[in-house]
Structure formats: structure tokens, C-alpha cells
Amino acid sequence: MGKLDNKVAVITAATSGMALATAKLFVAEGAYVFITGRQQEKLDEAVRAIGKNVTGVQGDAANLPDLDRLFEIVSKEKGHIDVLFASAGLSGQQMLGSVTEEQFDSIFGLNARGTLFTVQKALPLFRDGGSIVLNGSIASIKGLPGRSVYGASKAALLSFARTWLVELKDRGIRVNVLSPGPIDTPAMQAAPAQMRDQMRSMIPRKELGRPEEIATVALFLASDDSSFVNGSELCVDGGLAQI
């Protein structure tokens, strides 16, 4: 018996890395999963990799008509949602003094605005007792040079979670933030070797996290195992942001 048997989950930006690993685990634990991605080719590859009980919907979480189409498809195919993992996010590195309006707007437009409207548009389909997981980052608490805009956009998510849990308490819908540290995703693998080595050196175990280590925590927050966890930020960072 799976931890998500007969549940319907939506995971945004799940064509690679942490979100794809989460989608695979959710399906293995009994869920039917809807995933999104901006590029159809990569979305098709992700659907094939998951293998069963999955629908891919092309779209951008920063684009409200795309979100409307996503949830119209969910409504037609399944009629409800039990779990939402709002995973879509945009990083960036801009030192104070060189931040542009375009950089600020694109990062906040997806990470904060996109997350808010993803959740808001999902709500009419949510069954009572469901779980919302927001994809945060330890950049919101660590104070990493060049990451002020990104970190601030992720810090907004914890405020969202704490406010929304109060607004949703009568429906029993929980809202939590999962904040990863450095994870060995395709994006990390494409980063300069010097940066990856620096990240490893800061982690107590001297190894990057694996996407599957994020997926297991997302499963915990999505399932009844975390029934008494609400409005919390769970850092999955190997201890990096804790020391």
C-alpha cells in the first residue's frame, strides 16, 4: 500500500531534477500525477521516464492562461487535487548595484507571483485535507552573495505558507515550504566546476544532495505522515544553512 494511494498530485516544472524525481516517487507511492514544463520535448521525455499514471501539460507557471489550462485539464481528467508541489522557480546571480528591472521582475514574477497564482488557481479543485508544498531555498536564510533577489523571492514563500494555513484551516489544507540546499541536478552539473567544489566544501558530508533526497521529503510533506506539520520550512540541505 502506497503513501499516496488514490491521490491526485500536481507538480509544476517537473521535467528534470528534484521535481521529476518527486513525480516518479509520487507515482510509485500510488498517486496520479500531472506535471508541467515549458518545453514540450522535455515534457514528453519526463512523461516517458515516469512511465504510468501521469499527464504532461505544457506551460509556464508565470503565465496565468497556462495555469488556467493546466487546471482545466486536471478538472476534466480527475476532477480534484489532493497534493500540489509548486516547484517552478527561477534562480539568478546579481550583485547589488547591478540588478536590473528585468531580472527582478522575472525572478519575482515566477518565484513569488507564479507560486501565488498556481496555488490560488488550484484551490477550487482541492479536496479538504490536502497538502500544498512550496519549493523554497536556503538562499532565503543563508545570505549568499549575489542572490539577494532570488533569496528574497523565496523568503516570500514562508510568509505565504504561514498566512495561507490560517486562511485554509477550516478546510484542513496544510501548507509547508521545502527548502533545498545544493542538489546535484542537471542545472548544478552545468555550473562551473569551481562553484560545485565550493558548494561541496560547505556541506558537512562534503557531497551534494541527490534529487531523490528531495523527493522523499516532498513525499513526507504530501502524505499523512506529516499530518501535524503545517506552516513550516523544512530545510533539506545537509546542514549547510544550519551552521
Catalytic residues: 150
41-77 b/e (C-beta count within 10 Å ≥ 16 → b): eebebbbeebeeebbbbbbbbbbeebbeebbeebeee
Closest CA to 8 of 41, 43, 34, 46: 34
CA–CA dist 47, 42 (Å, integer):
9
What are residue 171's phi and psi, to 5 degrees?
A: -100, -5
* Cβ-contact 231, 165 below 8 angstroms: yes
C-alpha cell at 48: 516517458
Give the whole-angstrom CA distance, residue 218 versus residue 222: 6
Measured distance CA(60)–CA(111) in Å, rounded: 12
Q: Phi/psi zone of residue 190: left (φ > 0), alpha (ψ -120 to 50 degrees), beta?
A: alpha
Look at residues 51, 23, 17 and name the one whose alpha carbon lies nearest to residue 35: 23
Q: Which helix (H) or strand (E) holds 155?
A: helix 148-167
